Structure 1
Amino acid sequence: MKTARVLLALPGLAALAWGVVLFAEYALPLRPDVYGTVGWIVGGPILNDAVVAPLTAVLGLVLARLLPPRWKAPVITGTVITAVLTMVAFPLLWRPYGTPPMPGLHDGNPALGLALTLAAVWLAVVLTALTRRVVPPITRDAPPITRDAPPVTQDAPASTPSDPPGTPADRPGS
């Protein structure tokens, strides 16, 4: 197991080392724009870990307590997706041409694109919650549901006389 972990960690460490080499080529010698880049590289994870992730977690906990069961999972999922999409779109929303130019990227309206994407996400959330069926948990009192077992109804006894004693359908003491 230890060997597998080391083998899995090696490509990640190699990619990290390559990123450091590329950043050193870009940043040295120091120029004024390097400080802005360092601000984004350091500030992004700090902003995510200190602000966005805790707010998303608190909102998810509040929603989990307030919403009915069929709405919990879809709404919490939609909330997390909204936070991620907003973070990805933030550089383009903050200032025009906030990222290196790519063909076709700056042709559109990033605010409209984010709004349409979030509308699609929340439409999927609503449709999922409306069509979702919440299955009640199985209790120990109910017999197991199998394909070949006849359905148990309220007016029919759960066990038949041909069942051997001690089956789950028997009541204690019988």
Structure 2
Amino acid sequence: MKIARVLFALPGLAALAWGVVLFAEYALPLRPDVFGTVGWIIGGPILNDAVIAPLTAVLGVVLARLLPPPWKAPVVAGTVLTGVLAILAFPLLWRPYGTPPMPGLHDGNPALGLALTVATVWLAVALTALRHRFVPRTTSATPPVTRAAPPATSAALPDTPAAPPGTPVTPPDTPAAPPATPADRPRT
């Protein structure tokens, strides 16, 4: 087990060392813009760990306690996705050219893009939470719906009494089994 941990840690440590080498090439000799970069490198994780992640977690826990069961998981997932989208959009919202220029990136409106993406997330949350009204839940006691055996409900067959649970239901187009002959009957 320790060997596996070391083998998994080696690529991460190598990437960390390479990142230090690249940052040293960028930062040395010291210039004023290096201090701004250090502020972003240190400030980003602190902002996330001290502000955004706790707010997202507290909001998710509060909403999960207040909402009915069909809404809990979708709303918590939507809250987490909204927090992640806020983190990703922060550099572009903070200042107009907060990231290195990329073709097409600065042509759009980042606030509108964030608003549309968050609206899409919450539309998916609402549709996911409302699906229980339209799609019945299946349990281990419910037989699967197949082409050979359509769902048998007493509402679909109003003139027939409801069969007790566990009774096999044959589709209407299935031929009836022939009556058993005396030779087929079990002997007692």
Gaps of 5+ in 2: 144-162, 167-188
In structure 2, what is the Cα distance between the partners aligned to 1:112 and 1:25? 37
The structure-2 alpha-carbon separation of the partners of 1:135 and 1:17, relative to structure 1 and needing over 3 Å to count, comes to same
Correspondence for 2:127: 127
The structure-2 alpha-carbon separation of the partners of 1:17 and 1:101, relative to structure 1 and needing over 3 Å to count, comes to same
Q: CA deviation at 1:25?
A: 0.3
The answer to whether the Cα contact below 8 Å between 1:69 and 1:134 also exists between their aligned partners in 2 is no
Q: CA deviation at 1:96?
A: 0.5
Correspondence for 2:43: 43
The structure-2 alpha-carbon separation of the partners of 1:157 and 1:66, relative to structure 1 and needing over 3 Å to count, comes to closer
Gaps of 5+ in 1: 139-143, 148-154, 159-174
Moved over 3 A (4+): 132-136, 144-147, 155-158
In structure 1, what is the Cα distance between the partners aligned to 2:80 and 2:17? 31
**1:120-160: per-residue Cα shift (whole Å, max 9, x none)?**
11110000000047969x9xxxxx7486xxxxxxx9699xx
Correspondence for 2:70: 70
Higher relative contact order (CA 8 A, sep 6+): 1
How many residues align structurally?
Answer: 148
Q: CA deviation at 1:103?
A: 1.2
Query: Which residue type is aligned with residue 45 of structure 2?
Result: P
Correspondence for 2:21: 21
The structure-2 alpha-carbon separation of the partners of 1:104 and 1:43, relative to structure 1 and needing over 3 Å to count, comes to same
Query: Which residue type is aligned with residue 20 of structure 1?
Result: V
Correspondence for 2:160: none
Q: CA deviation at 1:2?
A: 1.4
Q: CA deviation at 1:94?
A: 0.6
Q: Does 1:57 align with 2:57?
A: yes
The structure-2 alpha-carbon separation of the partners of 1:134 and 1:37, relative to structure 1 and needing over 3 Å to count, comes to farther
The answer to whether the Cα contact below 8 Å between 1:60 and 1:79 also exists between their aligned partners in 2 is yes
In structure 2, what is the Cα distance between the partners aligned to 1:98 and 1:157? 64
The answer to whether the Cα contact below 8 Å between 1:78 and 1:125 also exists between their aligned partners in 2 is yes
Query: Which residue type is aligned with residue 116 of structure 1?
Result: L
The structure-2 alpha-carbon separation of the partners of 1:134 and 1:49, relative to structure 1 and needing over 3 Å to count, comes to farther
Larger Rg: 2
Q: CA deviation at 1:5?
A: 1.2
Correspondence for 1:114: 114
The structure-2 alpha-carbon separation of the partners of 1:20 and 1:156, relative to structure 1 and needing over 3 Å to count, comes to same
Show the 5 A alignment for 1:95-174.
95-132=95-132, 145=141
TM-score of the aligned structures, taking structure 1 as reference length: 0.77
The answer to whether the Cα contact below 8 Å between 1:93 and 1:110 also exists between their aligned partners in 2 is yes
